[in-house]
Amino acid sequence: MLILFDQNVPRRLRRFLVGHEVRVSADLGWATLRNGVLLAAAESNGYELVLTAEQNIRYQQNLSGRKIALVVLGSNLWPLLKEHLPEITAAVNDSRVGSYAFIEVPLPPKPKYQRNS
């Protein structure tokens, strides 16, 4: 599958998407393209899936009628994403034309402040 990483996706994630060809929007000169324009450019250039951490894209874009899938990450922080690699790879591998998947990536709990007396 030909996959486009939005510029907000850590590049090191690509090595875990075995069997797929991954390109990065910024490397294609598409760094300024946002949401619908990025999806349209990807679709017209043969990409089958866009991977992004832009969580509002779901509410801004209608995927019905599109010939591209969308996987949205709940974070773009690598230390958090690497804990969710099985979910990410499954979402990518299971994607189909017009599909949408959101990978929830919760933040770790904040340590409780303790005051020493």
What are the sequence ranges of the domains in the chain? 2-103
Distance of CA 86 to the CA centre of its chain: 14
Question: 3-class SS at 17?
Answer: coil
> Would you state the pLDDT for residue 106?
85
> Would you state the pLDDT for residue 94?
96
Distance of CA 13 to the CA centre of its chain: 10
pLDDT, tens digit, 9 for 90 and up, residues 49-60: 999 998 877 666
Closest residue by Cα to residue 83 from 63, 106, 102: 106
Q: What is the 3-state secondary structure (H, E, C) of 49-95?
A: EEEECCCCHHHHCCCCCCCCEEEEECCCCHHHHHHHHHHHHHHHHHC
Q: How confident is the model at residue 110 (pLDDT cuts 50, 70, 90)?
A: confident
Q: How far apart are CA 37 and CA 16, in angstroms?
A: 27
Q: Report the mean per-residue pLDDT for the chain.
A: 90
Answer whether residue 114 shows pLDDT above 80.
no
Q: How far apart are CA 12 and CA 78, in angstroms?
A: 8
